[in-house]
Amino acid sequence: MLSILIPTYNYNVFELVSTLHKQVEATGIIFEIICLDDASNLFFLENEKINGLEHSSYEILETNIGRSKIRNLLAKKAKYDWLLFLDSDVFPKKESFISEYIQQINTEEKIVNGGLLYQTEKPEKSKLLRWVYGKKREALPYNTREHNPYLCFLTLNFLIPKAVFEKVSFNETIPNLRHEDTLFSYNLMQKKIKIVHIDNPIYHYGLDDFENAIKKENDSLLALKHLIDNRLLPTDYIRISKIFSKIKDLKLIPIFSFFHKTTRIPFLKNLSSTNPSLFLFDLYRLGYLCTLENKSNVSNN
């Protein structure tokens, strides 16, 4: 028995739901599809058609509650023992997508991550940074993800027993700024809950344009600093915070903050170009994180 859970915000999710509906009906398994809309102002009429599909529902929340709370709410609404979480801006690669997940359903306490892909053709220039980053850093084959199962876990496409989700849910106390998936994977590791990576990807279509990509990255670094400052995440869990910690120990934060100030404009010029450098993107991110730390130190003195 399977509950397919999809949070959405300002996105037409009907085609995804109807495709999943056909696939899961063909398996003969007992199922439900629940789509929760986080107080959108677009695509009401398109998404309302979901309520016309058997065992499927679409509901609009009155207020925006954020990524962590909406996933937890979806799990609470779910009736069945296994939960398949998908983002709204994805689409399964395989016609056997649902059946391959069903093959993973057993009594083992585990999470199953199917992975993701990006389109092969280049998008428009404004979306190139997010596409290049996604293809090189996120769209990893399952045998690569297996070597680092927790850090390679992404919440766009995963199967989890409801009993496990009740042990490790998304943290609702953190700011709604990103990295909730990083914290979730760390908590899974702490609880020694196994993550199994399989070759069952979805295409991720929701590419942000350059301005939104940079804004979200800045927000994610602010969120990361919050997790580290509040000791919810160790500094050595992900690569950027590990390097940041070494810079901090060497008392080089003001230097790297100044470096960010002087390189920010040329770095952004490259990152918005037709050939964005991920090396420069990493330097930009590290410099921004150091700038946040430097501002925090100045305000506390």
Give tens-digit pLDDT for 44-93: 899 999 999 999 999 999 999 999 999 999 999 999 999 999 999 999 99
Q: Using the 3D structure, point to which of 188, 204, 220 is the last residue of a domain.
A: 204
What integer pLDDT is reported at residue 176 of this predicted model? 76
Partners of 228 in beta bridges: none
Nearest to 129 by CA among 209, 222, 203, 215: 209
- How many domains, in total, are found in the chain? 2
What integer pLDDT is reported at residue 298 of this predicted model? 61
Q: Which residues of the chain, if any, have pLDDT below 50?
A: none
Instruction: Say yes or no: 6 and 143 in one domain.
Output: yes
Instruction: Say yes or no: 196 and 245 in one domain.
Output: no
Which residues neighbour 301 within 8 Å (Cβ) at sequence distance 6 or greater?
Answer: none
Instruction: Say yes or no: 122 and 188 in one domain.
Output: yes
Q: Whole-angstrom Cα distance, residue 29 to residue 51?
A: 20
Instruction: Say yes or no: 55 and 138 in one domain.
Output: yes
Instruction: Say yes or no: 55 and 171 in one domain.
Output: yes
What integer pLDDT is reported at residue 178 of this predicted model? 81
What integer pLDDT is reported at residue 300 of this predicted model? 62
The answer as to whether 214 is a domain residue is no
The answer as to whether 218 is a domain residue is no
Residue 271 belongs to what domain range?
A: 234-300
Instruction: Say yes or no: 11 and 50 in one domain.
Output: yes
Beta strands 202-204; 90-92: pairing state: antiparallel
The answer as to whether 100 is a domain residue is yes
CATH of the domain at 155: 3.90.550.10
Instruction: Say yes or no: 114 and 161 in one domain.
Output: yes
Instruction: Say yes or no: 241 and 196 in one domain.
Output: no
The gap from C-alpha 286 to its chain's centroid, in whole angstroms, comes to 20
The structure's pTM equals 0.94
Query: What angle, 0 to 180 degrees and rounded to 10, lies between the N-to-C axes of helices 210-229 and 239-249?
Result: 60
Nearest to 74 by CA among 169, 146, 156, 141: 169
Residue 293 near residue 221 (C-beta atoms within 8 A): no
Which residue carries 């410099």 as its tokens? 287
Instruction: Say yes or no: 281 and 199 in one domain.
Output: no
Which residue carries 């399977």 as its tokens? 2
Distances (CA, A) of 209 to 123, 128, 215, 263, 287: 10, 8, 10, 21, 22
The answer as to whether 224 is a domain residue is no
